[in-house]
Amino acid sequence: MIGKLIEGIKRTGAPIVVGLDPQMKFIPASVKKEAYDKYGETLEGAAESFFLFNKAIVDAVCDLVPAVKPQVAMYEALGIPGLQAFKRTVDYCHEKGLLVIGDVKRGDIGSTSLAYATAHLGSVEIGGKKVEPFGEDFATVNPYLGSDGVKPFVDVCRENNKGIFVLVKTSNPSSGEFQDREVDGKPLYELVGEKVREWGEDAMDDSGYSEVGAVVGATYPEMGAKLRKVMPKSFILVPGYGAQGGTGKDLVPFFNEDGLGAIVNSSRGIIAAWQKERYASFGEAAFADASRQAVLDMKKDIGEALGK
Protein backbone atom coordinates (compact mmCIF):
# COMPACT_ATOMS: atom_id res chain seq x y z
CA MET A 1 0.00 0.00 0.00
CA ILE A 2 2.89 2.38 0.65
CA GLY A 3 3.80 1.95 -3.02
CA LYS A 4 0.35 3.23 -4.00
CA LEU A 5 0.81 6.20 -1.71
CA ILE A 6 4.16 6.99 -3.34
CA GLU A 7 2.55 6.73 -6.78
CA GLY A 8 -0.12 9.19 -5.66
CA ILE A 9 2.43 11.63 -4.30
CA LYS A 10 4.40 11.51 -7.55
CA ARG A 11 1.25 11.91 -9.66
CA THR A 12 -0.02 14.95 -7.78
CA GLY A 13 3.32 16.43 -6.78
CA ALA A 14 1.78 16.91 -3.35
CA PRO A 15 3.05 15.02 -0.29
CA ILE A 16 -0.14 16.16 1.42
CA VAL A 17 -2.96 14.42 3.25
CA VAL A 18 -6.16 16.31 4.03
CA GLY A 19 -7.49 15.66 7.52
CA LEU A 20 -11.26 15.17 7.34
CA ASP A 21 -11.98 16.08 10.96
CA PRO A 22 -15.40 17.76 10.82
CA GLN A 23 -16.85 19.68 13.72
CA MET A 24 -20.21 21.41 13.77
CA LYS A 25 -18.53 24.81 14.07
CA PHE A 26 -16.78 24.27 10.72
CA ILE A 27 -19.91 23.36 8.77
CA PRO A 28 -21.72 26.12 6.85
CA ALA A 29 -25.34 26.84 7.75
CA SER A 30 -26.54 25.79 4.29
CA VAL A 31 -25.03 22.31 4.72
CA LYS A 32 -26.58 21.92 8.16
CA LYS A 33 -29.97 23.02 6.81
CA GLU A 34 -29.87 20.44 4.03
CA ALA A 35 -29.05 17.70 6.52
CA TYR A 36 -31.57 18.83 9.15
CA ASP A 37 -34.34 19.16 6.55
CA LYS A 38 -33.81 15.47 5.82
CA TYR A 39 -33.20 14.04 9.29
CA GLY A 40 -34.10 16.77 11.77
CA GLU A 41 -31.85 18.19 14.48
CA THR A 42 -30.77 14.72 15.53
CA LEU A 43 -27.59 12.65 15.61
CA GLU A 44 -28.58 11.41 12.16
CA GLY A 45 -28.92 14.98 10.93
CA ALA A 46 -25.55 16.01 12.37
CA ALA A 47 -23.89 12.93 10.85
CA GLU A 48 -25.44 13.71 7.47
CA SER A 49 -24.02 17.24 7.67
CA PHE A 50 -20.57 15.73 8.30
CA PHE A 51 -20.83 13.56 5.22
CA LEU A 52 -22.15 16.36 2.98
CA PHE A 53 -19.36 18.65 4.21
CA ASN A 54 -16.71 15.99 3.58
CA LYS A 55 -18.12 15.16 0.15
CA ALA A 56 -17.94 18.77 -1.01
CA ILE A 57 -14.35 19.15 0.15
CA VAL A 58 -13.29 15.82 -1.36
CA ASP A 59 -14.85 16.82 -4.68
CA ALA A 60 -12.85 20.05 -4.57
CA VAL A 61 -9.43 18.59 -3.72
CA CYS A 62 -9.36 14.98 -4.96
CA ASP A 63 -7.28 15.86 -8.03
CA LEU A 64 -4.70 17.73 -5.93
CA VAL A 65 -3.75 15.23 -3.20
CA PRO A 66 -3.17 11.48 -2.93
CA ALA A 67 -4.84 10.83 0.42
CA VAL A 68 -7.19 11.92 3.18
CA LYS A 69 -7.14 11.22 6.91
CA PRO A 70 -10.49 11.11 8.72
CA GLN A 71 -10.15 11.25 12.52
CA VAL A 72 -12.58 8.67 13.83
CA ALA A 73 -13.14 10.44 17.17
CA MET A 74 -15.02 13.27 15.46
CA TYR A 75 -17.47 10.72 14.07
CA GLU A 76 -17.69 8.59 17.22
CA ALA A 77 -18.88 11.71 19.03
CA LEU A 78 -22.13 11.30 17.08
CA GLY A 79 -22.55 7.64 18.04
CA ILE A 80 -23.68 5.05 15.51
CA PRO A 81 -24.84 7.64 12.94
CA GLY A 82 -21.41 9.23 13.15
CA LEU A 83 -19.65 5.92 12.50
CA GLN A 84 -21.95 5.37 9.53
CA ALA A 85 -20.86 8.79 8.22
CA PHE A 86 -17.23 7.73 8.76
CA LYS A 87 -17.76 4.60 6.65
CA ARG A 88 -19.59 6.56 3.96
CA THR A 89 -16.71 9.02 3.89
CA VAL A 90 -14.13 6.23 3.52
CA ASP A 91 -16.11 4.67 0.68
CA TYR A 92 -16.66 7.97 -1.12
CA CYS A 93 -12.97 8.87 -0.92
CA HIS A 94 -12.11 5.53 -2.49
CA GLU A 95 -14.63 6.22 -5.26
CA LYS A 96 -12.75 9.46 -5.96
CA GLY A 97 -9.41 7.63 -6.18
CA LEU A 98 -8.02 8.71 -2.83
CA LEU A 99 -6.18 6.59 -0.29
CA VAL A 100 -7.57 6.75 3.23
CA ILE A 101 -5.51 6.92 6.42
CA GLY A 102 -7.82 6.03 9.30
CA ASP A 103 -6.68 8.17 12.22
CA VAL A 104 -7.84 5.72 14.87
CA LYS A 105 -4.79 5.51 17.20
CA ARG A 106 -5.68 2.00 18.29
CA GLY A 107 -3.47 -0.24 20.40
CA ASP A 108 -4.09 -3.15 22.73
CA ILE A 109 -2.80 -6.73 22.95
CA GLY A 110 -3.53 -10.14 21.50
CA SER A 111 -7.01 -10.78 20.15
CA THR A 112 -8.14 -7.25 21.02
CA SER A 113 -5.40 -5.64 18.96
CA LEU A 114 -6.13 -8.09 16.15
CA ALA A 115 -9.80 -7.09 16.30
CA TYR A 116 -8.90 -3.40 15.97
CA ALA A 117 -6.62 -4.18 13.03
CA THR A 118 -9.29 -6.31 11.38
CA ALA A 119 -11.94 -3.63 11.84
CA HIS A 120 -9.94 -0.94 10.09
CA LEU A 121 -7.54 -2.76 7.77
CA GLY A 122 -8.80 -6.32 7.38
CA SER A 123 -11.95 -8.27 6.67
CA VAL A 124 -14.32 -10.57 8.52
CA GLU A 125 -15.87 -13.73 7.11
CA ILE A 126 -19.66 -13.81 7.25
CA GLY A 127 -21.39 -16.84 5.83
CA GLY A 128 -18.44 -17.68 3.63
CA LYS A 129 -18.13 -14.11 2.31
CA LYS A 130 -15.33 -11.70 3.28
CA VAL A 131 -16.44 -8.19 4.19
CA GLU A 132 -14.34 -5.14 5.11
CA PRO A 133 -15.86 -3.39 8.15
CA PHE A 134 -14.35 0.09 7.57
CA GLY A 135 -11.83 -0.53 4.81
CA GLU A 136 -9.18 2.13 5.28
CA ASP A 137 -5.79 1.74 3.55
CA PHE A 138 -3.69 2.80 6.55
CA ALA A 139 -4.33 3.23 10.26
CA THR A 140 -2.54 5.06 13.05
CA VAL A 141 -1.37 2.88 15.93
CA ASN A 142 -0.46 3.62 19.54
CA PRO A 143 2.69 1.63 20.50
CA TYR A 144 2.46 2.04 24.28
CA LEU A 145 1.76 -1.67 24.82
CA GLY A 146 4.82 -2.70 22.82
CA SER A 147 5.18 -5.41 20.19
CA ASP A 148 2.14 -7.30 21.51
CA GLY A 149 0.01 -4.38 20.40
CA VAL A 150 1.70 -3.63 17.08
CA LYS A 151 2.49 -7.05 15.63
CA PRO A 152 -1.20 -7.96 15.02
CA PHE A 153 -1.47 -4.81 12.90
CA VAL A 154 1.68 -5.73 10.97
CA ASP A 155 0.28 -9.21 10.33
CA VAL A 156 -3.01 -7.83 9.04
CA CYS A 157 -1.12 -5.36 6.85
CA ARG A 158 0.87 -8.16 5.25
CA GLU A 159 -2.25 -10.23 4.62
CA ASN A 160 -4.27 -7.34 3.16
CA ASN A 161 -1.67 -5.09 1.52
CA LYS A 162 -2.29 -2.29 4.00
CA GLY A 163 -0.08 -0.02 6.11
CA ILE A 164 0.19 1.64 9.51
CA PHE A 165 1.68 4.78 11.03
CA VAL A 166 2.95 4.30 14.59
CA LEU A 167 2.93 7.24 17.02
CA VAL A 168 6.58 8.13 17.66
CA LYS A 169 6.85 11.86 18.44
CA THR A 170 3.51 13.63 18.41
CA SER A 171 2.95 17.32 17.70
CA ASN A 172 1.12 18.32 20.90
CA PRO A 173 2.91 20.52 23.48
CA SER A 174 2.79 17.99 26.34
CA SER A 175 4.13 15.09 24.25
CA GLY A 176 7.50 15.45 25.95
CA GLU A 177 6.10 14.44 29.35
CA PHE A 178 6.70 10.85 28.27
CA GLN A 179 8.17 10.86 24.78
CA ASP A 180 11.25 12.95 25.62
CA ARG A 181 12.18 11.02 28.79
CA GLU A 182 15.60 9.41 28.63
CA VAL A 183 15.81 5.63 28.77
CA ASP A 184 19.27 4.04 28.62
CA GLY A 185 20.72 7.33 27.45
CA LYS A 186 18.21 7.93 24.64
CA PRO A 187 14.90 9.78 24.50
CA LEU A 188 11.96 7.40 24.51
CA TYR A 189 10.77 8.60 21.09
CA GLU A 190 14.07 7.46 19.58
CA LEU A 191 13.66 4.00 21.09
CA VAL A 192 10.15 3.81 19.64
CA GLY A 193 11.60 4.86 16.28
CA GLU A 194 14.07 1.99 16.48
CA LYS A 195 11.20 -0.42 17.09
CA VAL A 196 9.32 1.01 14.11
CA ARG A 197 12.36 0.26 11.96
CA GLU A 198 12.49 -3.26 13.38
CA TRP A 199 8.76 -3.92 12.89
CA GLY A 200 9.05 -2.62 9.34
CA GLU A 201 11.72 -5.10 8.35
CA ASP A 202 9.01 -7.75 8.05
CA ALA A 203 6.81 -5.54 5.87
CA MET A 204 8.94 -4.08 3.09
CA ASP A 205 7.34 -2.90 -0.16
CA ASP A 206 8.86 -3.08 -3.65
CA SER A 207 9.18 0.72 -3.45
CA GLY A 208 11.97 0.31 -0.89
CA TYR A 209 9.81 1.69 1.89
CA SER A 210 8.14 -0.23 4.69
CA GLU A 211 4.42 -0.60 5.29
CA VAL A 212 5.18 0.41 8.89
CA GLY A 213 5.48 4.18 9.05
CA ALA A 214 5.71 6.70 11.87
CA VAL A 215 3.87 9.77 13.12
CA VAL A 216 6.27 12.63 13.90
CA GLY A 217 5.02 16.17 14.46
CA ALA A 218 6.05 19.09 12.26
CA THR A 219 6.44 21.15 15.43
CA TYR A 220 9.66 19.27 16.27
CA PRO A 221 11.89 19.49 13.15
CA GLU A 222 15.15 18.76 14.98
CA MET A 223 13.69 15.55 16.38
CA GLY A 224 12.30 14.83 12.95
CA ALA A 225 15.79 15.03 11.47
CA LYS A 226 17.09 12.57 14.06
CA LEU A 227 14.21 10.17 13.50
CA ARG A 228 14.59 10.38 9.73
CA LYS A 229 18.03 8.79 10.19
CA VAL A 230 16.72 6.23 12.68
CA MET A 231 13.93 5.13 10.29
CA PRO A 232 15.30 5.63 6.76
CA LYS A 233 12.84 3.17 5.17
CA SER A 234 9.72 4.31 7.02
CA PHE A 235 7.34 6.92 5.67
CA ILE A 236 6.63 9.68 8.18
CA LEU A 237 3.13 11.06 8.60
CA VAL A 238 3.66 14.64 9.73
CA PRO A 239 0.85 16.38 11.66
CA GLY A 240 1.13 19.86 13.07
CA TYR A 241 1.34 21.88 9.84
CA GLY A 242 -0.61 25.11 9.72
CA ALA A 243 -3.03 25.37 12.63
CA GLN A 244 -0.50 23.91 15.10
CA GLY A 245 2.35 26.13 13.90
CA GLY A 246 4.36 23.98 11.48
CA THR A 247 5.56 25.63 8.24
CA GLY A 248 7.06 24.44 4.98
CA LYS A 249 10.62 25.05 6.08
CA ASP A 250 10.02 22.95 9.21
CA LEU A 251 9.25 19.95 7.01
CA VAL A 252 12.55 19.59 5.16
CA PRO A 253 14.20 17.28 7.75
CA PHE A 254 11.35 14.76 7.45
CA PHE A 255 12.09 13.96 3.81
CA ASN A 256 14.77 11.70 2.38
CA GLU A 257 17.19 12.79 -0.35
CA ASP A 258 14.92 11.16 -2.94
CA GLY A 259 12.28 13.76 -2.07
CA LEU A 260 10.05 11.06 -0.60
CA GLY A 261 9.63 9.60 2.85
CA ALA A 262 7.03 11.96 4.30
CA ILE A 263 3.43 13.03 3.87
CA VAL A 264 2.16 16.14 5.63
CA ASN A 265 -1.28 16.47 7.19
CA SER A 266 -3.41 19.56 7.45
CA SER A 267 -6.90 19.37 8.90
CA ARG A 268 -8.42 22.62 10.19
CA GLY A 269 -6.17 24.66 7.91
CA ILE A 270 -7.91 23.13 4.90
CA ILE A 271 -11.42 22.08 5.85
CA ALA A 272 -12.10 25.27 7.83
CA ALA A 273 -10.21 27.55 5.45
CA TRP A 274 -13.41 29.45 4.61
CA GLN A 275 -13.49 30.78 8.18
CA LYS A 276 -9.99 32.24 7.99
CA GLU A 277 -9.32 35.85 7.07
CA ARG A 278 -6.95 34.79 4.29
CA TYR A 279 -9.78 33.04 2.45
CA ALA A 280 -12.70 35.19 3.56
CA SER A 281 -13.31 36.40 0.00
CA PHE A 282 -14.64 32.95 -0.95
CA GLY A 283 -17.54 33.30 1.44
CA GLU A 284 -19.54 30.60 3.16
CA ALA A 285 -21.20 29.28 0.00
CA ALA A 286 -17.83 28.55 -1.62
CA PHE A 287 -16.29 26.83 1.42
CA ALA A 288 -15.03 23.93 -0.68
CA ASP A 289 -13.30 26.31 -3.10
CA ALA A 290 -11.56 27.90 -0.13
CA SER A 291 -10.34 24.44 0.87
CA ARG A 292 -9.00 23.87 -2.63
CA GLN A 293 -7.07 27.13 -2.51
CA ALA A 294 -5.67 26.23 0.91
CA VAL A 295 -4.34 22.96 -0.55
CA LEU A 296 -2.76 24.83 -3.48
CA ASP A 297 -1.10 27.27 -1.07
CA MET A 298 0.15 24.41 1.11
CA LYS A 299 1.53 22.60 -1.93
CA LYS A 300 3.39 25.74 -2.98
CA ASP A 301 4.79 26.30 0.53
CA ILE A 302 6.08 22.74 0.80
CA GLY A 303 7.42 22.74 -2.76
CA GLU A 304 9.38 25.94 -2.22
CA ALA A 305 10.82 24.59 1.02
CA LEU A 306 11.93 21.40 -0.73
CA GLY A 307 13.31 23.31 -3.71
CA LYS A 308 10.74 22.01 -6.19
pLDDT tens, position by position, 140-197:
999 999 999 999 999 999 999 999 999 999 988 899 999 999 999 999 999 999 999 9
Q: What is the pTM of this model?
A: 0.95
Domain that holds residue 69: 2-303
State the CATH number of the domain containing residue 278. Answer: 3.20.20.70
Q: Which residues contact 198 (CB under 8 A, 6 or more apart)?
A: none
Is residue 261 within 8 A of residue 205, CB to CB? The reply is no
Q: Which residues are catalytic?
A: 105
Count how many domains the chain has.
1
* Domain assignment present for 200: yes
* Domain assignment present for 308: no
Give residue 203's pLDDT: 86
* Domain assignment present for 163: yes
Per residue in 228-278, pLDDT (tens digit) is: 999 999 999 999 887 655 678 889 999 998 889 999 999 999 999 999 999
Count Cβ atoms below 10 Å from residue 27 Cβ, excluding itself. Answer: 20
Name which of 301, 225, 289, 268 is nearest 18 in CA terms.
Answer: 268
Give residue 53's pLDDT: 98
Instruction: Return the higher-pLDDT residue of 240 and 280.
Output: 280
